[in-house]
Structure 1
């Protein structure tokens, strides 16, 4: 199984020059990546850390961090192309309802940020979800008025919002394997 390279940036936040203690470390990133790969093995897709860098703090006001597009834009602007997917691991963000953000056409590389969730399983699941977006998977929306359908979808990795799902449908697996990202990095 070919491995897709990731450059990990542990990015602490700062506000007005005061740096917050980083929650992520390269060791916690490796542990979370084990969870990620445990999920994506179903699609015969694996990820490997090419490099893990403790980045300079990003000085950004707390009330500006929950704009996921703006935050990812600022994070990606700080780094050059290196032929890998850029993953930014950041502390928890107040009022951000998602686990992170992902943009396939980020400049310079496909990129995601993932916020800290205080345990390896939740961190890895959120990271796997964001990688799903990079492999063109959309959110799964559940209509809870249809109980049988809701029960079948509740465990899906791509369920919108905060969930614990780790499952992938056959259609999602095929779509991820056929994505430009997998073709680019895994042949």
Structure 2
């Protein structure tokens, strides 16, 4: 059974001045195609239930650089339902995270994903955040261990900016056994 996603394209505003959104429902669909290609290794499929342009989030630029605070504000804007809430945002200056995730979010499992400028990068970042929602942790690479670094450099869950999309057998098992996947019949 596919996992339903409720997509909120969330433009920012500052003091009422609206910033144009980079995301659209079309770019979201293309990113989900990348997500599904990556997670097909685990036989997990995501489907867009709804794609909505949300009311602008009026938040000063210097208040956007805390991923926890940002996801708190975003996730509390909507009532719970039977879908994973995904907030698609423009790039955020000085935010080290490419996104943020609440596994046991209030009110629902939720993530935000920044715009990265192309379908693969957007989808890869989104797949990474969905990995967190499926209880898959970051991979820490010890670059002094060349063998380990070579094996993990291309992993989806590598911490920091990465282009990897590989999954280990253990990550696949963790995702398939996660509360989120089981909730939707997996």
Instruction: Name the SS of the counterpart of 1:5 in structure 2.
Output: strand
2:71 aligns to what? Answer: 72
Separation in 1, partners of 2:17, 2:38: 37
User: Within 2, Cα distance between the matches of 1:119 and 1:66?
Assistant: 22
- Number of residue pairs matched by the alignment: 186
Q: What is the deviation of 1:186?
A: 2.8
Q: Structure 1-normalised TM-score? A: 0.98
Whole-Å Cα distance in 1 between the matches of residues 167 and 65 of structure 2?
28
CA distance in 1, matches of 2:161, 2:82: 31
TM-score by length of 2: 0.99
Q: Deviations over 1:50-97 (max 9, x none)?
A: 000100000011111110010001001110112000000000001112
Gap regions ≥5 residues in structure 2: none
Whole-angstrom CA distance in 2 between matches of 1:79 and 1:3: 22
Give the Cα–Cα distance (whole angstroms) in 2 for the partners of residues 161 and 95 of structure 1. 14
1:12 maps onto 2:15 in alignment: no
- Are residues 1:122 and 2:121 paired? yes
Partner of 1:88: 87
What is the match of residue 143 of structure 1?
142
What is the root-mean-square deviation in Å for CA atoms of aligned residues?
0.6
Say whether residues 1:47 and 2:43 are aligned partners.
Answer: no
Number of the residue aligned with 2:99: 100
Check if 1:31 corresponds to 2:30: yes
